Amino acid sequence: MLSCKDVTHLASDYIDNNMSGTLPWKMRLHLVACRCCRRFVKHLRITKKVVPQFVDNNLSEADAEAILKKIKAPD
Ligand SMILES: [Zn+2]
């Protein structure tokens, strides 16, 4: 079983499908059992999606704040 520390380290590769062997399964197993890591991965996924847009579009500070609010919003 992966620890929460392992999951936070591996989360980026997990989202990018950059894992091999049984690791993705171990990740999934941990995420099913651990709500904290589930939230972490979810937020990281949103951040990864939003940040390139933020850089590309040169958004204003108000837009950035709206995005941050979206990221922090509860599920
Ligand atoms: Zn965890």
8 CB neighbour count, 10 Å cutoff: 15
Q: How far apart are alpha carbons 72 and 75 in whole angstroms?
A: 9
Q: What is the distance in A from the centroid of ligand 1 to the CA of 39?
A: 9
Q: What is the distance in A from the centroid of ligand 1 to the CA of 36?
A: 6
Per the structure block, which two tokens stand in for 10? Answer: 């591996």
Per the structure block, which two tokens stand in for 16? Answer: 């990018």
pLDDT higher than threshold 90 for residue 63 = no
Boundaries of domain holding 54:
4-72
Domain total in the chain: 1
Contact 7, 27 (CB under 8 A): yes
Tell me the percentage of the chain whose pLDDT exceeds 70.
85
Q: What is the distance in A from the centroid of ligand 1 to the CA of 48?
A: 20
Q: How far apart are alpha carbons 19 and 33 in whole angstroms?
A: 20
pLDDT higher than threshold 70 for residue 25 = yes
pLDDT for 70 equals 79
Choose between 64 and 37: higher pLDDT.
37
Q: What is the distance in A from the centroid of ligand 1 to the CA of 16?
A: 19
